[in-house]
Amino acid sequence: MKSLLKALKRCAVAGAAALAVVSLQPVSSAQAAPAPVVGGTRAAQGEFPFMVRLSMGCGGALYTQQIVLTAAHCVGRTGANTSITATAGVVDLQSSSRIQVRSTYVYRAPGYNGDGKDWALIKLAQPINLPTLKIATTTQYNTGTFTVAGWGAASEGGSQQRYLLKATVPFVSDATCRSYSGYGGLIANEEICAGYTAGGVDTCQGDSGGPMFRRDSANQWIQVGIVSWGIGCARPNAPGVYTEVSTFASAIASAAAGL
């Protein structure tokens, strides 16, 4: 059932845009989502230099300058793959200064079957000389305020965005997330929820694979999640679900080292 629900939200579509941030406390029913709503506000050039747009309609982040971390459901099987184009270095996908590099290989999380383990790596034909986004290796940062950015749909069923958008959403505990209709299958320790009880701010179609990140103790960006699934976009009592990066940090590092 959950796999069907995923198709309602994050799965790669020709879109790209909504975003998120997490507060230090679980979301209460009294909380109202702040402006802006789904679609967020436009990111400034260079604000999130690690952001990558993938040609199949997903997002991603530079794990290294030659490897993109994205969602498993965005790619096919592990193996050689030269069909994906990664666009980076710009907030405007039509900018003449955009950097575009083809893929050479895809590594999909072992055992991925549509539920959990939603991560993958894409090796590029050449490095992109831009800052990378480090990933969380412990659960220390799996709370608080998260930022999400992407070129996905700015409304449920909407179309791809030309410009990179950003937004913020609050952390939702596993227990609270599971209490919502359709979220009973949430996989603890593999998935993390974020969103407002009232809805209004969320990731959406085309944001799949993009990073959910926050500041660490040194005030540097650190990735804690990967846009995975959810029911609709920005609906009340329907938070976004993200792959819990820290759970897979060792596996990601090992896989990357072998690419």
Residues forming the active site: 73, 118, 208
Helix (H, G, I), strand (E, B) or coil at 72: helix
* Residues 241 and 255 sit within 8 Å (Cβ to Cβ): no
Torsion of CA 94, 95, 101, 103, to 10 degrees: -30
Question: Integer distance in angstroms from the first to the last C-alpha of the chain?
Answer: 34
Report the DSSP beta bridge partners of residue 244.
Answer: 225
Distance CA 94, CA 166 (A): 18
Query: Burial of 45 by CB count in 10 Å (0-12 exposed, 13-18 middle, 19+ buried)?
Result: middle
Query: What are the tokens at 259?
Result: 């690419």
